[in-house]
């Protein structure tokens, strides 16, 4: 009888562990993907351009459809997508730092393998330049009256 109770207890514990395992895995994935309050915020930048954050690793800058220019076959309004670090804008340009693994080989070559690149959208002309080195982005910012040294990390724009 004692052996039967200990086996039932063992089976019950194993069944409970199997039931809780998916919940534990889901929580681990949730925090890995960005944690509490990590996702789904958007801010208007300038004109028809906006910034959005899906999670800690996926952010983007969306803008007017580029169908009229023939870019992207009109499939997406996203101009820049990846892990965005710093961002800033005024009525003329939007500048952002794109980080890490979403960069292409061209980005790695253009930036000397630093793993980061800078991108500038000319709001008036609706053109995008990049990948750029930090010094190139700084010069474009200076030319358009945006203080490069005052750019903020995208998370600082999160609505409170």
Q: Which residue has the higher pLDDT, 11 or 151?
A: 151
- Tell whether pTM > 0.75: no
Q: Which residue has the higher pLDDT, 32 or 84?
A: 84
Residues 6 or more apart from 34 whose CB is under 8 A from it?
55, 56, 57
Instruction: Tell me which range, 20-24, 140-144, 149-153, is most confidently predicted by mean pLDDT.
Output: 140-144
How many domains does the chain fold into?
2
Check whether residue 15 and residue 64 sit in a common domain: no
Name which of 11-15, 58-62, 76-80, 154-158 the model is least confident about: 11-15
State which H helix or E strand residue 63 sits in. Answer: none
Check whether residue 45 and residue 73 sit in a common domain: yes
The CA distance from 157 to 159, in Å, is: 6
Check whether residue 78 and residue 13 sit in a common domain: no
Residues 6 or more apart from 131 whose CB is under 8 A from it?
98, 103, 104, 106, 107, 110, 111, 117, 118, 119
Residue 65: pLDDT over 80: no
Check whether residue 28 and residue 46 sit in a common domain: no
């Amino acid at each position: 009888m004692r052996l039967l109770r200990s086996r039932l207890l063992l089976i019950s514990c194993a069944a409970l562990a199997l039931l809780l395992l998916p919940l534990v895995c889901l929580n681990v994935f949730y925090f890995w993907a960005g944690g509490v309050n990590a996702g789904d915020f958007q801010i208007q930048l300038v004109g028809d351009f906006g910034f959005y954050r899906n999670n800690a690793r996926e952010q983007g800058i969306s803008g007017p459809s580029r169908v009229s220019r023939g870019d992207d076959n009109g499939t997406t309004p996203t101009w820049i997508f990846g892990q965005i670090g710093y961002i800033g804008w005024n009525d003329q340009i939007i500048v952002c730092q794109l980080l890490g693994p979403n960069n292409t080989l061209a980005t790695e070559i253009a930036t000397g393998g630093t793993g980061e690149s800078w991108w500038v959208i000319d709001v008036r002309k609706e053109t995008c330049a990049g990948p750029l080195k930090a010094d190139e982005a700084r010069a474009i910012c200076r030319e358009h009256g945006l203080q490069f040294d005052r750019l903020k990390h995208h998370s600082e724009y999160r609505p409170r």
